Amino acid sequence: MSHGDVRRLYRLKEGVHSVRTASGEVVLAAWPHLQEMGRLTAEQRSLLQVLATDRSAEKLTERCPRDQADRLLAMLSSGGWLITTVVCGDRPLFSSQPLVPHRKPLPPAEPRRLSRFASVRRDGDAIVVESPAAGAEVRLYDSRLVEPVLTLGAAQQERPDVPLEAVRLLTDELAHRGFLATTAETNSLSSVQWSPHELAFHHGSRLRGDHRMGRDFGGSYWAKGRFDAPPGKHPRWPAAAIELPRPDLDRLRVQDPALTEVMEERCSIRSYDEDNPLTVEELGEFLFRTARVRATGTDAEGLDVSSRPYPGGGAAYELEIYPLVRNVRGLDAGLYHYAPHGHRLLPVPASATALRWLMKASAAGMTGEATPQVLLVIATRFGRLAWKYQAMGYALTLKHVGVLYQSMYLAATAMRLAPCALGVGDSDAFAAATGLDYFEETSVGEFALGSLPAARRESTG
């Protein structure tokens, strides 16, 4: 196969509109971005129209003087409006879709290597190459191009149906768009500090050029009509429910300490009074103040929503609380699920080994002073958010964990208990203890609670 068969085709990104202003200038728009293109010739404006479908540079210059066509393509390319597809004859090999206006990448480190932030995965019938450090997304339509991506075409040998010219265009595009390792990747804290999964997640969870809010990103209700929405109430655990004591809310509205007093006095306390442990009345009051359901309803698209004492995106309330009780007066040790609609605890059957693992792995985040009298494991029924929100749902669930942490800290401080939010826990241990499907409901937060140690109770009493 001759290399002459390898060509570039150009096409405007989806969702880009060109508008002609009263003064005759052309503006390209893709919410929330605008680019003024200045005055274009009639031939250039006509090219802009035909770029809604793939065109080769030759096809474009048939209709328009070459220098005008080239100028338009250069403008569109630097603005990040143009998808380039490389074909061999009629067969597409790969395409590159810019995410942002073109920026000159940092010089690559020597020897040239793929960035440690770049990753390759299957997406439908294509293979996608992406990197949160790059300005474009590259899609491969031929699996034989995967190896050259990882090696940047080093020592590439001619193979049937994979012209070296295509490999050269591919590796040039990767270099041009910032897919190569820079010296910063090994030399600079600001780059070394990011684990690939963290930077990719940040990149994927925030708005950016190619995310269309409410269409393929954000609150799009993409799953409506395709899957039933997960119900607002957690499926009931089979064991008999334990009614939790409730506080007198009207009394608390008056007698509770002032907000500023509580916020200023709040601190993490990692030791407990084992002779006078937390009581079931206190645990009941604590959960009632922070996490009970106050009212329920349905949103405009049919998703169950509710009102609780802490804020939650879309009022979906995907978080579930599982108290792992070690030493609480009036309650057997073991794992429970908090049912916030009825303010009840449901015992969760779990093996002693699994519970020991769950407590041990979580308490490791406490810098090991004492074992919590209650470990509140916070799980996400992720589908409650993901049925509505695309790409940003997990970031939202972690923000909700933080919101709940601070609500718990403040309630515990007002109640004169010992609170401590933990930085990390073990989701495998949670799955083993509960038998829940990791994809459906998985642990995302841990909060340690207990009675205030005697010394502290006196000093601050």
In the region spanning residues 92 to 131, those forming contacts with a copy of itself, defined by CB under 8 A, are: 100, 113-123, 127
DSSP codes, 373-403: SEEEEEEE-THHHHTTEESSHHHHHHHHHHH
Q: In what order do the strands lie in the sheet with 25-30?
A: 17-20, 25-30, 33-39
Q: Report how far residue 282's alpha carbon sits from residue 438's, in angstroms, rounded to the nearest whole number.
A: 31
> Minimum Å distance from CB 228 to a copy of itself?
8
Query: Would you say 272 and 453 are in contact if contact means Cβ atoms under 8 Å apart?
Result: yes
The site map against a copy of itself for 154-173 (x = CB under 8 A) is --------------------
Segment lying near a copy of itself (by CB under 8 A), choices 73-81, 251-259, 272-280, 453-461 = 251-259
- Using rule CB under 8 A, residue 175 touches a copy of itself: no
Q: What angle, rounded to 10 degrees, do the helices at 42-50 and 66-79 form?
A: 50
Q: Report how far residue 334's alpha carbon sits from residue 332's, in angstroms, rounded to the nearest whole number.
A: 6
Q: Which CB atom, from 196 or from 245, has the smaller least distance to a copy of itself?
A: 196
Residues 260-319 that bind a copy of itself (CB under 8 A): 260-264, 266-268, 289, 309-311, 313-314
Query: Would you say 312 and 400 are in contact if contact means Cβ atoms under 8 Å apart?
Result: yes
Binding-site member from 109, 175, 280, 395 for a copy of itself (CB under 8 A):
395
Q: Report how far residue 402's alpha carbon sits from residue 405's, in angstroms, rounded to the nearest whole number.
A: 5
Cis peptide before 32, with omega less than 30 degrees from 0?
yes
Q: Which CB atom, from 277 or from 383, has the smaller least distance to a copy of itself?
A: 383
Query: Would you say 379 and 447 are in contact if contact means Cβ atoms under 8 Å apart?
Result: no
Binding-site member from 396, 418, 448, 449 for a copy of itself (CB under 8 A):
396
Q: Which CB atom, from 55 or from 308, has the smaller least distance to a copy of itself?
A: 308
SS3 109: coil
Segment lying near a copy of itself (by CB under 8 A), choices 59-67, 74-82, 222-230, 276-284 = 222-230
Q: What is the DSSP letter of 364?
A: G
The site map against a copy of itself for 345-384 (x = CB under 8 A) is ------------x--xx--xx----------------xx-
> Minimum Å distance from CB 21 to a copy of itself?
17
Binding-site member from 51, 328, 409, 451 for a copy of itself (CB under 8 A):
409
Question: Could you tell me how far CA 373 lies from the centroid of its own chain?
Answer: 32
Binding-site member from 414, 417, 418, 448 for a copy of itself (CB under 8 A):
414
Q: Report how far residue 390's alpha carbon sits from residue 229's, in angstroms, rounded to the nearest whole number.
A: 14
Q: Which CB atom, from 50 or from 120, has the smaller least distance to a copy of itself?
A: 120
| Identity of the residue numbered 408 | M
Segment lying near a copy of itself (by CB under 8 A), choices 246-254, 272-280, 326-334, 344-352 = 246-254
Binding-site member from 67, 90, 110, 437 for a copy of itself (CB under 8 A):
437
| Identity of the residue numbered 360 | K
Cα first-last separation, the chain: 86
Q: Which CB atom, from 104 or from 197, has the smaller least distance to a copy of itself?
A: 197
The site map against a copy of itself for 32-61 (x = CB under 8 A) is xx----------------------------
Task: Write the burial class of residue 32 (CB in 10 Å: 0-12 exposed, 13-18 middle, 19+ buried).
Answer: exposed
